[in-house]
Amino acid sequence: MIKRAARRPWGTLMAEHRRLVITIWIVVVIACGASFPFLFKQLKAPDYEVNGSPSAEAAQLVQRHFAVEGDEQDVIVLDSPHGKITDPARRAAVAQVVAAARSRPGVVTVVGPFDAQAEKQVSADGRAAMAVVGLDGTSRQRPGRAADVQKAIDAAATGGVEAYLSGYSPITNDQTAVENAGAERAESVGVPIALAVMVLAFGAVVASLLPLLLAGVGLTLTFGVVYLLTFGFTLDAFLMTIVTMIGTGIGIDYAMFIVSRFREELARRGDDAVPEATGAAVATSGRTVLFSGVIVAISMCSLYVVDSPVFREISTGVLISVVCTLAAALTLLPAVLAALGPRVNAWQLPERWRPADVRSASAAESGPWARWARLVMRRPVLFGGLAFAILVIAALPVGGLKYGIDLGTASLDGRPSAKAQTILERSFSPGAVSPIQVVVTGRDDTPLDATGQGQAAALAKQISRDERVADVETIPGDGRVLLNAVPKVAIDSGAATDLVRHIRHDLAPRATGQQVLVGGATATFVDLSNETTAKLPYVMTLVLGLSLLFLLLVFRSVLLPIKAVVMNLMVTAAAIGITVAVFQWGHGASLLGFTSTGFLQVYLPISVFVLLFGLSMDYEVFLIRRMKEAWEDGHDNESAVATGIEHTARPIAAAAAIMVAVFGGFLTAGVLEVKEFGLSLAVAIALDATLVRLVLVPALMKLFGDWNWWFPGISRSPAADPIRANPSAARH
């Protein structure tokens, strides 16, 4: 009878074919790296539209019945610092700028300040003027066309006249450029700190370089895949900031877990057992990494419930990043570890600075982390109660959470849209960059009758009397009426969103028998806020439910998944609570260099919840699976907890410190939303790695005792199971 050959572990296969694996990855990285310079040309501005929302329907009506006005109205702001713009020479320069704008593709109309149909487009002091620009195209096409117009008017502006384009698309274009620069600056701050932490964590320089290698390779592959997707889908540039932030963090995390286990196996088996050590590392920590990646993917998929492109793109980008990082972690990293072998420990620190896993077994069992765990387990109620109280206090501000969208104009100093905004606030109205569009039609988009026309006129008067409105322009077309209401306030301010809600809920119902839809950039922000609030319960239910089911399968325990989910909820609430206290309430504004808007970016809380739930579960899976290994080897509950923490606390602490450094580096960014993401993620990881992993976990594990390991059909006691009582029998 022929015996079937035993299957070799995946890590061992990667080790045996390391040259082929490394060669393939070199080719892939070169190909993906070559696409990077072209990637940002393919990315667009964020699309905050909500499918089927009132603002989206209003935009469709504007396209259908008021095509001559364009799908988006922007303004060219013309400034004459050294004289009157009405002087003949400067009027000629203005005409030249207007002509240049009219010549660009996608521009359907330009109303210059001196045209016959112009109204109130020259400032009272005569130093500034506006030209109204109508752009057509989809929300993805308009940013590129706005950039084209800005280039044209830059070249045409002469004779003492300066020209700057502003509006929704120009602002998002400039914001994208500032965000990309901020992301690069954040990386330059976070990566050196990460390297220093890894040297201390591993006690060896060569080993500390491997997580950076994996993170870099994973990001390069991610960028290559995203570049290919841009030919079939539209993706925004802010996505790259999120992908860079998350990809760097998980790449370093995953590599640290696998490298730590490889060094431990190598120390235990001997330097000649490199393939076996590689196989064991991938079979244990590699499997944990795979489980963690699945949980992140589960969490991110829940964002597809929110019916807006900005959420779909965040979800897609992070999913791609996780898949690419996992691919590198489970193929390239074991191949590199096998190629290095014992040299992974090259350039080591003195022995007392090395982790316990690469020292003697006795030193590992009496290590400081195990002693700390036993200290907590001697007073589980005291330690657990203190940790719980801190998290609850930190989470209290969540009750006052407010949503909004900040376009980041305060961070755009030196950009054309920021210069235009300064002139508008000085000489006109800040809301001129993007009027609120009120479309009035008959029911089911029928033409207005005489009564409807009268109600539209009455609505225009009511809007114009509002103290937040600078002017209302009435535009008839195709039997319908378009009201362009120019706010006196910034389009992303709370006052502007309140104005939209007032028009919708208080004024529009007075036009009985007519259809009144409110659109424009501010109305889009309101609709996105409403969609986010409405879908948050569904997202949370999906994330919690699917994660719980998956953890039940991974841990083979009933209590452990429930505790993991509850603790992650507490950490997420605490992180968002601290973010509310800082960015919404303004505590620490001078220290971090920002001005509070009085709200958080509308997509931040839900995105942070999903991201944190996936990211923090890395540590939970890594820690609990190591405890479970000890439990299955015959340790009692307390010993299993202490052993698991001793073997995982150092890499978890180091990984968390690195993530905090990477995410905290984004606090140096100029754009407020990037600061908010950086702070919330950094705080959550810090709380998770300290209060949860080092305090709450051992305290709760002690309180629940053997019930931690109960699962239907599985014994709770090592002594009750003959194989677990004699683990050597299971290996023969």
The string of DSSP codes covering 318-340 is: HHHHHHHHHHIIIIIHHHHHHHH
Q: pLDDT tens, 221-268?
A: 999 999 998 887 777 777 777 888 788 888 888 998 899 889 888 888
pTM listed for this prediction: 0.79
Q: How far is CA 362 from CA 359, 365, 623, in A?
A: 8, 5, 21
What burial class does residue 668 get, using C-beta atoms within 10 Å of its C-beta: 0-12 exposed, 13-18 middle, 19+ buried? middle
The yes-or-no verdict on residue 119 having pLDDT over 70 is yes
- Compute and round to an integer the Cα radius of gyration of the chain: 30
Helix 559-579 to helix 672-687 angle (10° resolution) is 140
Query: For residues 28 and 604, which has the higher predicted lDDT (pLDDT)?
Result: 28
Name the residue among 409, 459, 452, 467 with its Cα closest to residue 437.
Answer: 459
Give Cα separations from 635 to 84, 401, 679, 705, 719 (angstroms): 86, 46, 40, 12, 10
| Polymer length in residues for the chain | 732
In this structure, what are the phi and psi dihedrals at residue 272, rounded to the nearest 5 degrees? -85, -10
Q: pLDDT of 376-419, one tens digit each?
A: 999 999 999 999 999 999 999 998 988 777 777 777 778 888 89
Averaged pLDDT, 286-292: 87
For residue 521, pLDDT beyond 80: yes
Query: What is the CB neighbour count within 10 angstroms for residue 38?
Result: 10
DSSP states of 471-527: EEEEEEETTEEEEEEEESS-TTSHHHHHHHHHIIIIIGGGSTTEEEEEESHHHHHHH
Q: Which domains, and CATH codes, for the chain?
A: 55-166 (3.30.70.100), 172-407+526-718 (1.20.1640.10), 435-519 (3.30.70.1320)
pLDDT exceeds cutoff 50 at 326: yes
**Long-range CB pairs of 499-507, under 8 A, 24+ apart, other chains included:** 499/436, 499/466, 499/468, 499/469, 500/436, 500/526, 501/526, 502/466, 503/436, 503/438, 503/463, 504/54, 507/459, 507/462, 507/463
The CB-based long-range contact list for 138-142 (8 Å cut-off, 24+ gap) reads: 138/71, 139/47, 139/49, 140/44, 140/47, 140/234, 141/106, 142/71, 142/72, 142/106, 142/169
